[in-house]
Amino acid sequence: MTLIFNFMVKKTFYILAFLSFAFANGQTALDSLLQKENNASVPYITVEELAKKENIVLLDTREKVEFETSHIENAICVGYDKFKLKKVKKLLPKDKNTPIVVYCSLGIRSEDIGEKLQKAGYTNVYNLYGGIFEWKNKEQSVVNDKGETTENVHTFNEDWSIWLKKGVKIFEKKTSKKDKS
């Protein structure tokens, strides 16, 4: 009996150690990616902080097809490739101190848009750490273009989909030369 108990304790310990290691490395991997791709010019806001915030403007900096698949409720789609500051300024409050949170898939494209807003004089701009992927990974809800709660999240492409741990991954499949003929 003692032998079985010791085995179970050791097994439980190893499983917990592995899970702790995996979780810690997953966060470290995201930290590393964001440190590599971003320059931290726009301060981050965490999922937990954003979930508690009120009276903010939420800007989705992904493309329209990504936004239509799912977005954080009450977000405004401003795009990335076709982002027009003049057009977006019309959607924002006149008070440039109003809190604005930008997000994309992981927080890379949104930093670029956040920088443009800062240069335009907006003083309270934040970038959602880990973007909509981290939002969904932390079990927050997203809605589709009809305002209905959905599990679908557009992951941009298959490579980026590794960062989404919860939800249904939606992306355009790569086509080979054979598929095109």
Active site (catalytic) residues: 104
The identity of residue 171, as a single letter, is: F
Residues 41/118, Cβ–Cβ less than 8 Å: yes
Judge whether 98 and 124 are in contact, CB under 8 Å.
yes
Query: How far is residue 60's CA from residue 79's CA, in Å, rounded to a whole number?
Result: 7
- Tokens representing residue 40 in the block: 């931290």
What are 45's strand-pairing partners?
Answer: 128
Give the whole-angstrom CA distance, residue 62 versus residue 89: 17
Residues β-bridged to residue 55: none
Residues 6+ apart with CB under 8 A from 105: 62, 66, 131, 132, 133, 154, 155, 156, 160, 163
